[in-house]
Amino acid sequence: MSHHYRINGSMIQQYSGKPVSIIGTVSKVHPSGNVIDLETSDKQHIVVRSSENVNVESGSIIEVLGNVDNRNQIECDMIVAFEPEQTANFDMDMYNQAVMLFQHYPQDYLVNL
């Protein structure tokens, strides 16, 4: 299993082709059910495509695991949909700062174990 880099919206381009993990808020679910507009931790919007129907509610916080394709969209393998109780106290801004820290100090935050 490959290890996913935790990123935010502005880092997408840099991780083109790589396996990533993105936590964000579901902004919109496409009527087809396969495409999500996700608001990332740094308040950017990205498109997540899934091969299967995604069962998430708009406004909920999810984690997307997948690869960045060449259109800077996410081809997702797996979605973790958190319960509202779990995310009630989630500090998205702090998560965003943590993500930036991981990128800033890659030698201190292991990804490939």
Partner 1 sequence: MANQRLTTGSLLRYLRGNTTEKATLQVVGIKTIDSKTDDPSGASKRYRLMLSDGKATFSSCMLGTQMNKLIETNSLKENSIVRIDRVMVNSIDKQNGRVMLMLYELEVLQSDCERIGDPVALPLTDIINNNGNGTNRLETVNNNQAQAPPPAAAAPPPATNVIRQGSKALPTLDNQKKPNGDNRFAAKGGGGNNTIDKERIINIDTLNPYMNKWTIKARVSNKGQIRNYENARGPGKLFSCDLVDQSGEIRATAFNAECDKFHSMLEMGEVYYIAKASLKAANRQFNTTNNDYEMTFNHDTIIEACDAGEGENIPQVQFNFIPISEVANRTANTTCDVIGVVKSTSDMQTIVSKASQKEFTKRELLLVDEKASISVTLWGQQAEEFDGSSHPVIAFKGIKIGDFNGRTLSCFNNTLIRHDPTETQRTVELRVWYDNEGKSMDLPDLSKGADAGNRPTAVKTLAQIIAEGLGLGDKPDYVSVKAMSTLMKKDQAVYMMCPEERCGKKVVDENNGSYRCEKCNKTYNNFKWAYMVSAEISDTTGAQWITVFRNEAEALLGLTAEEFGAHKLNQSESIIEEIVRKAMNHERIFKLRAKAEQYNDERKIKFTCVGISDIDWSSHGRRLLDEIKQMEPVQN
Amino acid 59 reads G
Min dist CB 16 to partner 1, Å, is 8
Residue 10 near partner 1 by CB under 8 A: yes
Residue 89 near partner 1 by CB under 8 A: yes
Residue 91 near partner 1 by CB under 8 A: yes
- Contact call for residues 27 and 45 (beta carbons, < 8 A): yes
Place of tokens 């308040």: 43
By CB under 8 A, which span of 57-65, 66-74, 78-86, 99-107 interacts with partner 1? 99-107
Beta-strand relationship, 74-81 and 45-50: parallel
For the record, the structure tokens of 2 come out as 């490959």
Min dist CB 53 to partner 1, Å, is 32
By CB under 8 A, which span of 27-35, 56-64, 71-79, 96-104 interacts with partner 1? 96-104
d(CA 24, CA 67): 16
Amino acid 9 reads G
Place of tokens 């381009």: 13
Residues engaged in binding partner 1 (CB under 8 A)? 10-11, 13-14, 16, 89-91, 94, 97-98, 101, 103-104, 106
